[in-house]
Structure 1
Amino acid sequence: MNGPVIDYRAVFKALPGAVALLTPDLVYTDANEAFFAMAGRTPDQVIGRYLFDVFPDNPNDPGATGMRNLYASLQRVAATGEPDSMALQRYDVEYPDRPGVWEERYWSPVNVPVLAADGTVALLLHRVEEVTELIRARGDRAGGDRSAVLEAELYTRARELQEVNERLRQAHAREREVALHLQQAMLPEPRPLAHHQAAVRYRPAVGALNVCGDWYDLVDLPDGHRTAVAVGDVVGHGLRAAGVMGQLRSALSAASRVAAGPARALEVVGLYARSTDGAESTTAVSVFLDWDSRTLAYSSAGHPPPALCRPDGTVTFLDQATDPPLGARPEHASRPEARTAFVEGSVLVLYTDGLVERRGEDIDTGLDRLARSLARHHTADPDTLADALLADLIPPAGITDDTALIVLRL
């Protein structure tokens, strides 16, 4: 794209409104000059410190609930990945150079998630509008009754925010519904395989638009003795992700029918991804099963490793042929491929990261959870096993990323 190179850090610093960035653990990582001026703090007093060490509650006034409300809002944004506009809040702010002396302030905050490439919340953007002088001026005109002014202001702002949030909720719900219908049309139940039983599952994220980027595919190959199995995960969510997902799923399914093996199939789709908007950094894994030789070949483009469970319950993760995601390299390169033998009665499980990844948890913890569940239920038929894995691994509150799952009895 032609045009000037934009220094987004300089833009952030120059914003006229007060803006700060925090980690999901509520530690300040950056703020602009307007924020420091509004807060009466220097960068050394803010950056790298926990939010409520910088702005603690006023211990002398239980009615100053702004900080507690802010904590609840930020936690909600970190958990759901959805923005939150808060009603007008009263904050008691301690003077940094006068310990124990507090000033009554009124702020109107908006908290917005900053998402990482995998759709998880990487940072929290905290924007603050200072309205203290407005409240004071109205209180003076009302005979000094600031509480009455604040109550009226809170009611008005709360109604306005409620209406805006409801419109946003309805718009998000409509987009989510359309995206899910599109997803279902693109991920029909696979046709029965000639050799063995399989089960597939798709579970959308709960209460969020972070859906419709995951896909699965199973196909018996034209040579009559091999089957190709694959799952993938497009970066992004909603209608756009569903559209890109459909393109890549079709491309990989077609490439698998003519490629010599999974690595070559992923190489072809990687080239396609480089010329497809929104397909960059998609992860995928492909497995070719040879029923005559009882071997499988696999290749992964930055995707979580498939799990192979043998009849005795031993679980092995197929992680010896992993390369960067599709379209991630600036130049085309061959992808690695590995092979391993399997015995009759084994189970192969392919999945997307929503099944095993949890915010604030190491990926190995999720993989270990999958291995233990698979070993516990591996003798069940594929449909029962798929449901058992979802029951064991998906939290009661639901998942924040959609999940695709394939269970194949070998």
Structure 2
Amino acid sequence: MTQDERLSRMEAVTDATLSRLDASDLLDELLDRVRDLLGADTAAILLLDEHAGQLVATAAKGLEDEVRRGFRVAVGRGFAGRVAMTRRPVMLTDVGPGDVVNPILLAKGVRSLLGVPVFAAGDLVGVLHVGRLTPGPFTADDVHLLQLAADRAGVAGAIRSRRLDQSAALAVQRSLLPERLPTIPGVDLAARYIPGHDFGIGGDWYDVFHLDGGRLGIVIGDVSGHGLASAVVMGRIRSALRAYALIADDPAEVLTLLDRKVRHFEAGNLTTALYAIVAPDRSSIRISSAGHLPPLLARPGEPAAAIDLPRDPPLGIGTHHLGRHATTVALPPSSVLVCYTDGLVERRDEVIDVGIDRLSGHVRPEPAEAVCNGIMLDLEAGPRTDDVALLVLRREH
């Protein structure tokens, strides 16, 4: 490549017109230009969530599903995590299953990867990477150009602006959802939350907490509506449920108390919730549902199926319910319990039972994180209009 050609390529990603675009458009345009100039099939930016120590897929071309499905990877894990940990360019010339932790990269057929760190004011704020569907090395010029593009995004403020927006949403989310799931002896846990809108938080939630005597409380719920208003109501309901869980030992009683609170203080906010208590020896789980979709259970040697539960009315419907029900279900070793909200299974053109059956096909007695990944990988393509919350529990022994 001649000097003039090299300069022309650099100008394409440092064009002053980029600085006049807003953060979202700038990142999209930058990824388009980088993908074209490097002859790549994919390009993506992951921003650093410092609090969680994870990279969050934020913008992508050719890998849009990883943004839509809320893909995250811990710093130090996988390809992008390695770039963030070393703060240096990383190249993979023949990608194999052991090289990446993002199943979407493998499903796409990416065979070579080049990634560089993204800095803003000297701080690591993310990772920019490109991929090709054919194996082979990138050149030194490719590395230089990709790093230039990453630096351009940071200097232009696009990364910082998007990261500030993302950080605000994450701060709200952290105050309402568990930052990290607790480490529980004998139990393997994994969860996902994906908002159905740009703000990044809504009325769906999950929760896991310790109870007296070695018991474990797990919750999943859905407040009607979207955005910050629903999230605020959800936060109040979540806190109330935790309080009632400390004074009542039966899930049905906890939801009865919560229903009274919602009807009195949160009138007009329809809420579904499922609350379950795992026994100290993890051999069983006692579940009560307030209008929520039934969890799925996969036992070794058996296909996954929805648990047959009495589906009591949702919380806050405006009438006093005389009694709620709780069901005890056996949880043999290696069993997997999947709790979810309707955004995961509901489609406009089909009855919800079809979505539940489709989901059950991805639930197997496997590690919780693998089950989560398999479910999220099957999420329908296209923009989401409803939030998704997913909580997976596996009894280890």
Q: Per the shorter chain, which TM-score range? A: 0.5 to 0.7
Residue equivalent to 1:402: 387
1:327 is matched by which residue type in structure 2? G
Give secondary structure in 2 for the equivalent of 1:200.
Answer: strand
Residue equivalent to 2:191: 200
Contact 1:179-1:242 at 8 Å conserved across structures: no
The equivalent position to 2:294 in structure 1, one of 305, 327, 335, is 305
Structure 1: tracts of 5 or more residues without a match = 1-173
1:239 and 2:228 aligned:
yes
1:89-104 to structure 2, matched below 5 A, reads none
1:407 is matched by which residue type in structure 2? V
Contact 2:336-2:366 at 8 Å conserved across structures: no
Residue equivalent to 2:366: 380
Residue equivalent to 1:314: 303
**1:176 CA displacement:** 9.3
Q: How many percent of aligned residue pairs carry the same amino acid?
A: 39
1:263 and 2:266 aligned:
no
**1:177 CA displacement:** 7.9
User: 2: distance between equivalents of 1:293 and 1:198?
Assistant: 13
**1:208 CA displacement:** 5.2
Residue-by-residue CA offset, 1:172-219 (whole Å, 9 max, x unaligned):
xx99985554123321222212331101111111x5569510110111
Relative to structure 1, the CA distance from residue 359 to residue 175 in structure 2 (aligned partners, 3 Å threshold; closer, same or farther) is: farther
1:222 is matched by which residue type in structure 2? D
Residue-by-residue CA offset, 1:240-260 (whole Å, 9 max, x unaligned):
111111111111122223312
User: 1: distance between equivalents of 2:230 and 2:165?
Assistant: 12
Residue-by-residue CA offset, 1:92-142 (whole Å, 9 max, x unaligned):
xxxxxxxxxxxxxxxxxxxxxxxxxxxxxxxxxxxxxxxxxxxxxxxxxxx
1:219 and 2:209 aligned:
yes
Residue equivalent to 2:237: 248
**1:387 CA displacement:** 1.3
Contact 2:267-2:318 at 8 Å conserved across structures: no
Give secondary structure in 1 for the equivalent of 2:258.
Answer: helix
User: 1: distance between equivalents of 2:302 and 2:392?
Assistant: 15
1:346 and 2:331 aligned:
no
Q: What is the alpha-carbon root mean square deviation over aligned residues?
A: 2.4
User: 1: distance between equivalents of 2:223 and 2:268?
Assistant: 7
Corresponding pairs, count: 232
Contact 1:350-1:406 at 8 Å conserved across structures: yes
Contact 1:287-1:297 at 8 Å conserved across structures: yes
Deviation >6 Å, runs of 4+: 174-177
Contact 1:285-1:303 at 8 Å conserved across structures: yes
1:390 and 2:371 aligned:
no
1:318 is matched by which residue type in structure 2? I
1:390 is matched by which residue type in structure 2? M
User: 1: distance between equivalents of 2:271 and 2:165?
Assistant: 22
Give secondary structure in 2 for the equivalent of 1:287.
Answer: strand
Relative to structure 1, the CA distance from residue 396 to residue 278 in structure 2 (aligned partners, 3 Å threshold; closer, same or farther) is: farther
Relative to structure 1, the CA distance from residue 297 to residue 306 in structure 2 (aligned partners, 3 Å threshold; closer, same or farther) is: same
Q: Which has the larger radius of gyration?
A: 1
Contact 2:169-2:200 at 8 Å conserved across structures: no
Give secondary structure in 1 for the equivalent of 2:350.
Answer: coil
Residue equivalent to 2:181: 190
User: 2: distance between equivalents of 1:231 and 1:346?
Assistant: 19
**1:385 CA displacement:** 1.4
Contact 2:186-2:282 at 8 Å conserved across structures: no
Relative to structure 1, the CA distance from residue 248 to residue 284 in structure 2 (aligned partners, 3 Å threshold; closer, same or farther) is: same
1:117-128 to structure 2, matched below 5 A, reads none
Residue equivalent to 1:281: 270
Relative to structure 1, the CA distance from residue 341 to residue 379 in structure 2 (aligned partners, 3 Å threshold; closer, same or farther) is: closer
Residue equivalent to 2:351: 362
1:287 is matched by which residue type in structure 2? A
**1:313 CA displacement:** 3.9
Residue equivalent to 2:16: none
User: Relative to structure 2, which stretch is displaced further, 183-192 or 196-205?
Assistant: 183-192
The equivalent position to 2:326 in structure 1, one of 331, 337, 347, is 337
Structure 2: tracts of 5 or more residues without a match = 1-163
User: 2: distance between equivalents of 1:372 and 1:216?
Assistant: 22
Residue-by-residue CA offset, 1:251-274 (whole Å, 9 max, x unaligned):
112222331211111111111111
Contact 1:210-1:401 at 8 Å conserved across structures: no
User: Relative to structure 2, which stretch is displaced further, 265-274 or 291-300?
Assistant: 291-300
Relative to structure 1, the CA distance from residue 244 to residue 293 in structure 2 (aligned partners, 3 Å threshold; closer, same or farther) is: closer
Relative to structure 1, the CA distance from residue 358 to residue 186 in structure 2 (aligned partners, 3 Å threshold; closer, same or farther) is: same
User: 1: distance between equivalents of 2:301 and 2:208?
Assistant: 26
Give secondary structure in 2 for the equivalent of 1:264.
Answer: helix
User: 2: distance between equivalents of 1:332 and 1:175?
Assistant: 42
Contact 2:282-2:331 at 8 Å conserved across structures: no
2:192 is matched by which residue type in structure 1? R
